[in-house]
């Protein structure tokens, strides 16, 4: 079109339009609109246009129709109880074709089923429906069947099946489930195309397992968490603890101290882990004294172990429906050789004996189920035994495949155990801190500390094992070695972890001893002073100090010269008491050289722990007391025996603290 034409068009155009506008844009009827209701009222009708929508609101006006939201099918699942049932039904007797090369698996699993599975998982991402979950679950099972010989695939599809089963019952239990499943499906797809890319498969499997663990942790039985709270509650009542705890402490701590052993045994033939699960009946005396969180947890752990092993035996998923606990009972703090016992350290916090008993009952209940099955000797060996039998039937190649599967499960179990150990250690930490601050709790504190240290050591060792020896079938037999090392025994522990807990005592008496310096808690000092000459010489010769030496004259009473709890004993009792002279022992423990020189004018210090243990040492220096602030560095002794309780750092000196309570 030429410019001239355009101009013409424009000019005529606008004129014509304006004329049309004048024509058309005119009212054909007179109406009035109610300003409040917007109702249109006709003033005069020029047409039968009343049939047209008389209302001022056009028929398509609405912004507020209540559209029923599509309720997800997951609602039905919500009402059912949480029950993450195991869904793994690997039939151990099924013929399994051997395959070493990964390349074989790609062709072994139908691409079509993987595609359809992926589609369903994607649909789940958009909408969670029971039908979709069910279909996906069936497809996953099919994939599992088809890829039985592939460990990597099994390692992914099995947790996916568990997750889908869980979703079937409670669709929104794991919020991140659809995403994790989607990643898993994508990894599966890629793996089938490129079997060498097993890394994504493992990563996806990890993620799914982690989510399952989290949800199982959250789904701990209420009584466990309630009891955990109950345990911590009485802790805050310090006076009660002290008063009610004396006897319990003795028995409990003594029992506990000797039995802090955790053991791991492996059977090379089966490659399966064998754990000795404790029988609570054997530990009743200790149990009745105290329960703490770890006890319930050990019960749960045992349950978990049993379920896992039993399920492996029956061909079930290692992920159990019970609250997720480490699959070993190894984190129990006390244990006899080969057995695991319940710890008693927190027994002092139980004021009410009934309470304790109730908990022990609860723990027994919780442990009861697995215990029954374990009453059969070597019951724990069942899976491996079964495996062994089956293997002998099948032959070597099938054994390899089975081993790989077992190790995959073991790997999962170990990871869960590590996680659980971490959790337990963090639960013990606040109790430990409180004990550190509480007077008279030094021994308990030290014990608790030891307990936590052993848990952490165990955790570290398991982690090392897991990372260094990724539990694959071909490496199975080697597990025996490193894991045995991982068995932490308190007696063998060389844990030099620095701790900055508070010194259990607020006032220490400092004195020189030999070439070193020691500190004694002021509250434990029952006597400081010079004894009569004739006994003074004996101080450096004898090994025992009878309290009668404190009498300057035969008729002098002993008690008035004493202070603290020792002074409360009767004269008769005091006359019969003897305490070891601990100078040499201290030298030995501190690694100092015993000067063996005669101390010219020794000051005798009689120490008493408030119950019945005492010790005597003689020093030749001035004794000065020092207030110990909260921020003084305190390092408890690794050993629970002997007079050395730990060291404090005062100024630039590290001073050994001697205590009768260590």
Q: By CB under 8 A, is residue 48 in contact with another protein?
A: no
- Does position 393 interact with another protein (CB under 8 A)? The reply is no
By the rule CB under 8 A, 81 interacts with another protein: no
Q: How far is the CB of 135 from another protein (least distance, A)?
A: 14
Binding string, 170-209, against another protein, x = CB under 8 A? -xx--xxxxx--x---------------------------
Write down the least CB distance from residue 79 to another protein, Å.
Answer: 11
Q: Which of 40, 82, 251, 638 binds another protein (CB under 8 A)?
A: 40
Element (DSSP H or E) covering residue 429: helix 396-437
67 touches another protein by CB under 8 A? yes
Stretch that binds another protein, among 22-30, 279-287, 436-444, 652-660 (CB under 8 A): 22-30
Element (H, E) at 624: strand 624-627
* C-beta of 16 vs 352, nearer to another protein: 16
Return the bridge partners of 617, or none: 605
Token pair belonging to 537: 């010489």
Q: State which of positions 498-557 bind another protein (CB under 8 A).
A: none
Residue range at the interface with another protein (CB under 8 A); choices 119-127, 367-375, 413-421, 501-509 = 119-127
* Residue 21 binds to another protein (criterion: CB under 8 A): yes
Could you give the CA distance from residue 63 to residue 199 in angstroms, rounded to a whole number? 51
> Least separation, in Å, of the C-beta of 43 and another protein?
9
Query: Which helix (H) or strand (E) element contains residue 161?
Result: helix 151-169
Q: What is the CA radius of gyration of the chain?
A: 38
As measured in angstroms, the least distance from the Cβ of 62 to another protein is: 7
Choices 50-58, 322-330, 372-380, 479-487; region in contact with another protein by CB under 8 A: 50-58
Least gap, CB of 167 to another protein (angstroms): 10
Query: Residue with structure tokens 């070439």?
Result: 515
Task: Output the smallest distance, CB 31 to another protein, in A.
Answer: 5
CA distances from 223 to 219, 229, 292, 501, 622 (A): 11, 10, 12, 31, 56
Q: Does 64 bind another protein (CB under 8 A)?
A: yes
Residue 2 CB, nearest approach to another protein (Å)? 10
Per DSSP, 166 falls in state H
What part of residues 220-259 is at the interface with another protein (CB under 8 A)? none
Q: How far is the CB of 651 from another protein (least distance, A)?
A: 46
CA distance 574 to 545: 12
Report the residue number, 8 or 556, with the smaller CB distance to another protein: 8
Let me know the angle formed at the C-alpha of 12 by 11 and 13, rounded to the nearest 5 degrees: 90
Among 45, 49, 76, 246, binds another protein (CB under 8 A): 49
- Of 93-101, 121-129, 617-625, 632-640, which part binds another protein (CB under 8 A)? 121-129
> What minimum distance in Å lies between the beta carbon of 58 and another protein?
4
Among 48, 63, 196, 555, binds another protein (CB under 8 A): 63
Roughly what angle, to the nearest 10 degrees, separates helices 130-146 and 151-169? Answer: 160
Q: Say if CB 293 and CB 240 are below 8 A apart.
A: no
Q: How many Å apart are CA 641 and CA 655, to the nearest integer?
A: 18
State yes or no: residue 128 binds another protein (CB under 8 A). Answer: yes
Are 476 and 271 a contacting pair, CB within 8 Å? yes
Residue among 11 and 285 whose Cβ is closer to another protein? 11
Whole-number Å distance between alpha carbons of 460 and 414 = 12
State the burial class of residue 72 (Cβ atoms within 10 Å of its Cβ: 0-12, 13-18, 19+). middle
Q: What is the DSSP string of 187-218?
A: HHHHHHH-TT-HHHHHHHHHHHHHHHHHHHHH
* Residues 450, 456, 458: CA angle, nearest 5 degrees: 100
- Does the protein bind another protein through residue 50 (CB under 8 A)? no
Cα 660 from chain centre: 34
In terms of CB distance, is 122 or 499 closer to another protein?
122
Given 78, 237, 246, 464, the residue binding another protein (CB under 8 A): 78
Number of chain positions touching another protein (CB under 8 A): 63
Q: Examine residue 74 and tell whether it contacts another protein (CB under 8 A).
A: yes
16: contact with another protein by CB under 8 A:
yes
Applying CB under 8 A, among 48, 52, 112, 631 the residue interacting with another protein is 52
Name residues whose C-beta falls within 8 Å of residue 418's C-beta, 6 or more positions apart in sequence: 326, 459, 462, 463, 466
Three-class DSSP labels, 100-134: CCCHHHHHHCCHHHHHHHHHHHHHHHHCCCHHHHH
SS3 letters for 348-389? Answer: HHCCCHHHHHHHHHHHHHHHHHHHHHHCCCCHHHHHHHHHHH
- The smaller minimum CB distance to another protein, of residues 22 and 112, is found at 22
Q: Which is nearer to another protein, 179 or 310 (CB)?
A: 179
Q: Is the Cβ–Cβ distance between 410 and 470 less than 8 Å?
A: no
Instruction: List the interface residues with another protein, window 155-174 (CB under 8 A).
Output: 171-172
Closer to another protein by Cβ: residue 30 or 629 = 30
Work out whether 33 is an interface residue with another protein (CB under 8 A). yes
Per-residue CA distances from 358 to 244, 260, 287, 288, 350 (Å)? 18, 24, 11, 9, 11
Piece in contact with another protein (CB under 8 A), picked from 2-10, 240-248, 354-362, 566-574: 2-10
Q: Which of 127, 281, 484, 653 binds another protein (CB under 8 A)?
A: 127
CA–CA dist 311, 329 (Å, integer): 17
Q: Which region among 33-41, 234-242, 287-295, 567-575 touches another protein (by CB under 8 A)?
A: 33-41
Q: Cβ of residue 201: shortest distance to another protein, in angstroms?
A: 20
Q: Is 72 in the site for another protein (CB under 8 A)?
A: yes
Q: In the complex, which residues of this chain contact another protein (CB under 8 A)? A: 3, 6-7, 9-10, 12-14, 16-18, 20-22, 24-35, 38, 40, 49, 52, 56-67, 69-72, 74-75, 78, 123-128, 171-172, 175-179, 182
């Amino acid at each position: 079109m030429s410019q001239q034409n355009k101009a013409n068009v424009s000019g005529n155009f606008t004129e014509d339009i304006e004329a049309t506008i004048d024509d058309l844009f005119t009212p054909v009827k007179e109406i009035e609109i109610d300003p409040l209701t917007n109702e249109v009222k006709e003033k005069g009708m020029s047409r039968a246009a009343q049939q047209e929508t008389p209302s001022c609101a056009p028929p398509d006006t609405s912004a507020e129709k209540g559209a029923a939201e599509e309720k997800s099918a997951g609602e039905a699942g919500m009402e059912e109880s949480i029950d993450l049932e195991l869904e793994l039904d690997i039939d151990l007797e099924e013929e399994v074709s051997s395959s070493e090369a990964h390349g074989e698996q790609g062709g072994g699993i139908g691409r079509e089923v993987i595609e359809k599975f992926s589609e369903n998982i994607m649909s789940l991402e958009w909408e969670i429906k029971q039908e979709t979950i069910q279909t996906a679950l069936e497809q996953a099972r099919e994939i599992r069947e088809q890829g039985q010989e592939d460990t990597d695939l099994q390692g992914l599809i099995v947790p996916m099946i568990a997750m889908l089963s869980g979703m079937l019952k409670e669709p929104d239990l794991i919020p991140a489930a659809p995403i994790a499943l989607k990643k898993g499906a994508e990894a599966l797809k890629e793996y089938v195309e490129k079997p060498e890319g097993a890394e994504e498969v493992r990563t996806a499997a990890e993620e799914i397992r982690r989510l399952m663990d989290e949800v199982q942790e959250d789904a701990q039985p209420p009584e466990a968490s309630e009891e955990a709270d109950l345990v911590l509650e009485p802790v805050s009542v310090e006076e009660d603890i002290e008063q009610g705890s004396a006897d319990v402490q003795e028995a409990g701590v003594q029992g506990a101290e000797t039995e802090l052993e955790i053991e791991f045994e492996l059977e090379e033939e089966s490659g399966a882990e064998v754990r000795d699960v404790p029988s609570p009946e054997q530990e009743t005396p200790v149990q009745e004294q105290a329960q703490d969180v770890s006890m319930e947890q050990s019960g749960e752990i045992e349950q978990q172990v049993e379920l896992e092993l039993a399920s492996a035996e029956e061909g079930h998923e290692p992920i159990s429906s019970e609250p997720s606990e480490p699959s070993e009972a190894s984190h129990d703090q006390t244990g006899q050789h080969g057995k695991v016992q319940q710890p008693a350290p927190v027994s002092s916090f139980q004021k009410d004996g009934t309470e304790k008993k109730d908990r022990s009952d609860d723990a027994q209940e919780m442990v009861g189920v697995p215990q029954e099955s374990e009453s059969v000797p070597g019951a724990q060996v069942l899976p491996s035994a079964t495996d062994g039998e089956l293997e002998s039937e099948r032959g070597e190649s099938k054994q390899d495949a089975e081993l790989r599967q077992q190790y995959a499960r073991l790997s999962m179990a170990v990871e869960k155990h590590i996680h659980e150990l971490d959790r337990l250690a963090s639960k013990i930490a606040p109790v430990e801190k409180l004990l550190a601050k509480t007077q008279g709790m030094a021994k308990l504190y030290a014990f608790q500390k030891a307990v936590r240290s052993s848990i952490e050591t165990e955790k570290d060792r398991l982690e090392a094992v897991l990372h260094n020896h990724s539990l694959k079938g071909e490496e199975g037999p080697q597990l025996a070695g490193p894991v045995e090392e991982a068995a932490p025994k308190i007696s063998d522990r060389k844990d030099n972890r620095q701790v900055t807990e508070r010194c259990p005592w607020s006032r220490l008496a400092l004195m020189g001893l030999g070439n070193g310096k020691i500190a004694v808690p002021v509250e434990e000092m029952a006597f400081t002073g010079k004894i009569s000459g004739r006994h003074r010489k004996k101080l450096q010769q004898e090994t025992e100090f009878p309290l009668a030496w404190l009498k300057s004259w035969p008729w002098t009473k002993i008690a008035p010269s004493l202070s603290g709890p020792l002074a409360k004993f009767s004269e008769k009792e005091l006359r019969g008491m003897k305490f070891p002279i601990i100078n040499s022992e201290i030298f030995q423990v501190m690694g100092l050289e015993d000067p063996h020189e005669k101390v010219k004018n020794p000051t005798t210090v009689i120490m008493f722990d408030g119950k019945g243990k005492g010790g005597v040492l003689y020093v030749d220096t001035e004794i000065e007391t020092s207030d110990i602030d909260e921020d003084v560095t305190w390092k408890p002794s690794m050993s629970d025996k002997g007079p050395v309780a730990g060291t404090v750092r005062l100024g630039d000196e590290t001073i050994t603290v001697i205590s009768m309570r260590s």
